[in-house]
Amino acid sequence: MRNEIRRLREMHDLTQAALGAKIGVSRQTINSLETGKYDPSLPLAFTIARHFGLSIEEIFHVDE
Amino acid sequence: MLTSDRSVATDKTTTAWFAGVAVGLVGTLGLALAVGSAGHPDTAAGIVTGGMLVLVLAAAARWRSASAPDRAGTAARIAAGRPDERDVRVHQATLSVVGAVAIVLSGLSSAATFVDVDAAVIVRTMPFLLVLTMVCAFVVVNRRT
């Protein structure tokens, strides 16, 4: 699954650690999400979407 | 998750961590006492040393994950009882590998007794093989997740 987390994080001028602290996960988890190694749970996806004021579909895209 | 829910969850993980340490301490000392009273003082000393080392490492991990959360790694957060959801997934995947390997090793061990391998050697080697498996599996899963 692809996502827009890195682009959104950089747009908001946040480090991985800062974004992680804001949504309650570690810096490593943010890094794994950005590199596509880890797909978040639905609650975490909602938390990320809510943090950026977007819908889940605008952030996460299923690889076709 | 609401803030109150998160604080309740934190309280539960803190309680679980301290309970785990207490069980580990009592288990280590109890096992050492039993082994020592059965006439194996060196083994008892080894049990106490190993057990205390694990408990000290867990306490150090908890201290590190609290004092420098940005620099604490996956293993430190798990040992500290403060994992996030990715850490939990890494932990579960690691233990599932250990479980699968344990089944295979138990079968091989059973077969080995039929070719005159000393059963005591097998039983004493098994924990070290499983710990080695856990470390290797953790490293691989953590890098891939």
Predicted local confidence at residue B137, as pLDDT: 96
Q: Check if the beta carbon of residue A14 is closer than 8 Å to that of residue A44.
A: no
Q: Is B87 on the interface with A (CB under 8 A)?
A: yes
Phi, psi of B117 (to 5 degrees): -80, 140
Which of the listed residues B63, B83, B103 is the one where a domain comes to its end? B83
Question: Residues B107, B74: one domain?
Answer: no
Q: Check if the beta carbon of residue B131 is closer than 8 Å to that of residue B118.
A: no
Quick one: average pLDDT of B35-51? 92
Per the model's pLDDT, the better-predicted residue between A61 and B3 turns out to be A61
Question: Residues B76, B143: one domain?
Answer: no
Question: Residues B50, B72: one domain?
Answer: yes
How sure is the predictor about B4, in pLDDT bands with cuts at 50, 70 and 90? low
Summarize pLDDT for A13-53 with one digit per residue, the tens: 999 999 999 999 999 999 999 999 999 999 999 999 999 99
Report the DSSP beta bridge partners of residue A2: A61
Summarize pLDDT for B70-126 with one digit per residue, the tens: 788 899 898 888 889 999 999 999 999 999 999 999 999 999 999 988 999 999 899
Structural domain containing residue A24: 2-61
CA distance B92 to B112: 30
Residue A47 maps to which CATH number?
1.10.260.40
Predicted local confidence at residue A52, as pLDDT: 95
**Cα angle for residues A35, B136, A16 (degrees, 5° grid):** 25
Cβ contacts of B87 on chain A, cutoff 8 Å: 26, 29
In this complex, the residue of A17, A21, A25 whose CB is nearest that of residue B86 is: A25
Predicted local confidence at residue B8, as pLDDT: 60
Q: How many domains does chain B have?
A: 2
Question: Residues B62, B3: one domain?
Answer: yes
Cβ contacts of B70 on chain A, cutoff 8 Å: 17, 27
Q: How many domains does chain A have?
A: 1
CA distance B11 to B18: 11
CA-based nearest distance A14→chain B, Å: 14
Q: A38 and B70: CB-CB below 8 Å?
A: no
Question: Residues B130, B104: one domain?
Answer: yes
Q: B84 and A25: CB-CB below 8 Å?
A: yes
Question: Residues B100, B128: one domain?
Answer: yes
Quick one: average pLDDT of B61-66? 84
Question: Residues B68, B1: one domain?
Answer: yes
Share of chain A above pLDDT 90, in %: 92
A-contacting residues of B 89-128, CB under 8 Å? 89
Q: B69 and A26: CB-CB below 8 Å?
A: yes
Structural domain containing residue B24: 1-83
Predicted local confidence at residue B126, as pLDDT: 93
Predicted local confidence at residue B81, as pLDDT: 84
Predicted local confidence at residue B50, as pLDDT: 92
CA-based nearest distance B50→chain A, Å: 30
Question: Residues B127, B144: one domain?
Answer: yes
How sure is the predictor about B22, in pLDDT bands with cuts at 50, 70 and 90? very high
The answer on pLDDT for B6 being more than 80 is no
Question: Residues B22, B67: one domain?
Answer: yes
